[in-house]
Every structure is written in structure tokens, then in C-alpha cells.
Amino acid sequence: MRIAIDAMGGDFAPEEVVKGSVVAAKEHNVGIILVGPKDRIENELAKYDHSGLDIDIVHTDEYLAEGEHPAYALRKKRNASILVATKLVKEGKAAAVLGAGPTGGVVAAALQVLGTIGGIARPVIGGAFLGFAPQTIMFDLGGNVDCRPDQLLDFAVVGTVYAQKWLNIPNPTVALLSNGAEEGKGNEVLRESYTLFKKSGLNFIGYVEGYDIPSGKANVVICDGLVGNVVVKFCEALGETICHWLQEKLSGKLPREDIEEVVGGLLRATNAAEVAGGGPFWAVNGVVCKAHGRSKWQEIAGAIAQAKLAVEVDLVGSLKSELELARSKLNIPNPPD
């Protein structure tokens, strides 16, 4: 298996991206295609012993620059490294693509080159976002606002496959995020979705409230991208605010290392971006993975291992068949990819 890497994506590209790729090729037994300016990549490769490893270079001079609007820039830079790398998946030359550049660029390349599956309009973004509830994932955290009930159902299928394949939860519980636990609560879309979810064959347990997220009442929490975005960003900011407050409160009362341990632990537990910023994009017709922009070689190597896993568990195929299954139970037509 070979994985295409945008060698120019991320805050520490190409240095850390190339180093992480060499490590992954060695440790995770995977082929690598580095996409970017040949001379710069070769310079970096020369620093490491990569004899016997399956590492190739596909040359391109173009890549997204810092501060550019990613989707807009990609319309002009037709040979941008993230586009070229994604095309390798489309052409069957790579099994997956990994980018550590701006999310907008990775998503735009994925949409332009690979498209989505099952009639889903935009990639679905989600995952665990609260360290206190590691078995709870939430979808959508991305750009899917104004969702119809059947779209929320799509997210629920995505979440179920995620929980099964990624968190090894065999029969994950699914819930709709609402303003109360009783069936009559929620807005119009939620109430319609409630009826739909009950018939879907998913392990649907009804509504959960904001109160139920930290306690992990459901494995898969479904909401539209507006609610999800607000909750995750609020969580992150509240975590940071509490950390500042704690630092002040504990200062002088505890040794500095102890304060740092507490504050650091809380920051990690509430920092959604750390978690949701990485991993595969869901509902794309191919395995497209994102690493954090600030990834060093360890995170790049880890993200490559994740991409390999996504191919091995047949993420895209599983998702397609689960979507078809859930829809056929509800007599919802399955649109072509």
C-alpha cells in the first residue's frame, strides 16, 4: 500500500513531513509518495537512511502559501501539491492521501478530485472532542448547517461506522442532541429526525441534552454543524478560560510542575482542535486524512498510520454499505456517488 503525502502542507513542511514519512515507511511498513518540489524533498530525504524503503517523489512546484484562501488558491494553482497528491488516489496510484496544510485546502481538493459518496453534499467532520468522554463522538462539527432529517441520519451512519471501526465499539448508541430528553422536545427537524432514527436500525436511544455530553451518555451524538461548531468552540474556550483562572488560583499554593500538570491535563481534555483536527474526512469517496498544521514528525508518522488503518478497515466501502442499509430500511433512495 502506498500513501500520497502533501510534502508542502503544514507549519513545518517539508522538513517534518519528510522525516515523519521516512519513520512511517520504516515502522508501519507502508509505501510513501511525497508530492512537492523534487530538490527540496531530496534535500530532506538525504538526511535520513531510507535505503530499502518504498519512498517515491512526484514533483510539482506549486503549493498553497500561508495566508492564501485555500479553496480560491486551488482554482489557480492547478498543480498545487495537495491537488496532485489527491489525484494519485483518484488514479489508483495511492490508497490514501494525507495533508497537514489548511483544512479548507484538503477539503476542497478532496471535493474537486474525489467527490463525496452517497449523495452527501459536504465532507462530514466529527469525532471525540472532550477528553472526559473519550467514547463519545459528535457529528457534524463542520460546515453542514441547515440539515434535513435524512442528512442527520447520514451523520448518524457515519458516526456509527466511526465508533465501530475507530473506537472498537461494536454496537454504538446513537442520540440526537436536543433541548430536553422527552420525545416532544426539539425543533421541527429534530422531531422529524426522531421518528426517522427510530425506524433506522441504528442503536438509537433518543434525545440527549447538553448536560449529557460530558457524562458520555451516548457514543454518537448527532447535531447540525452549527450546533456542533458552537458547542466544540465553546468547550475549547471555556477550557482555556478555566485554565487561566486555575493558574492564578493555584499559583503559590502548589509547585510549578504540579500546576502545569493540572492545567496541561485540563487543556488537553477540553481542546477539541487537538482531536478533531486530525484523522480522516468522512463521506469523501476515497481515504483523505488530515494532520494538524503544527504536526512534527511524530504526528505525521502517526497520521500516516491512521491513513493506513483507514484503508485496511475499508472505511469508504463500509460507509457506503452502511448508508445503503440504513436508507433501504427507510425506503430512502440511494443517490449515486
Task: List contacts with a second copy (CB under 8 A).
Answer: 130, 132, 143, 145-146, 177-180, 186-188, 190, 209-215, 223-227, 229-238, 240-242, 245-246, 249-250, 253-254, 258, 261-262, 265-266, 269-270
Instruction: Please report how close the Cβ of residue 212 comes to a second copy at its closest, in angstroms.
Output: 7
State CA 80 to chain mean position distance.
Answer: 22
CB nearer to a second copy: pick between 90 and 233: 233
Cell of 177: 442532541
Cell of 260: 502545569
Cβ-count burial of 112 within 10 angstroms (0-12 exposed, 13-18 middle, 19+ buried)? middle
CB nearer to a second copy: pick between 240 and 324: 240
Instruction: Please report how close the Cβ of residue 110 comes to a second copy at its closest, in angstroms.
Output: 20
Of 85, 31, 21, the residue nearest 58 (C-alpha): 85
Instruction: Please report how close the Cβ of residue 11 comes to a second copy at its closest, in angstroms.
Output: 21
CB nearer to a second copy: pick between 22 and 213: 213
CB nearer to a second copy: pick between 232 and 310: 232
DSSP state of 47: T
Instruction: Please report how close the Cβ of residue 124 comes to a second copy at its closest, in angstroms.
Output: 15
What are the distances in angstroms from CA 157 to CA 47, 118, 296?
45, 11, 33
CB nearer to a second copy: pick between 95 and 107: 107
213 and 243 Cβ atoms separated by less than 8 Å: no
Instruction: Please report how close the Cβ of residue 290 comes to a second copy at its closest, in angstroms.
Output: 18
21 and 47 Cβ atoms separated by less than 8 Å: no
Strand order in the sheet with 2-6: 55-59, 31-36, 2-6, 96-99, 287-290, 279-280
Of 287, 322, 314, the residue nearest 303 (C-alpha): 287
Q: Helix, strand, coil % (nearest 5) of the chain?
A: 45, 15, 40
CB nearer to a second copy: pick between 121 and 145: 145
Contacts of 44 (CB under 8 A, 6+ apart): 14, 15, 18, 19
Instruction: Please report how close the Cβ of residue 304 comes to a second copy at its closest, in angstroms.
Output: 30
Measured distance CA(40)–CA(82) in Å, rounded? 16
CB nearer to a second copy: pick between 60 and 270: 270
Instruction: Please report how close the Cβ of residue 188 comes to a second copy at its closest, in angstroms.
Output: 5
CB nearer to a second copy: pick between 170 and 253: 253
Instruction: Please report how close the Cβ of residue 122 comes to a second copy at its closest, in angstroms.
Output: 13
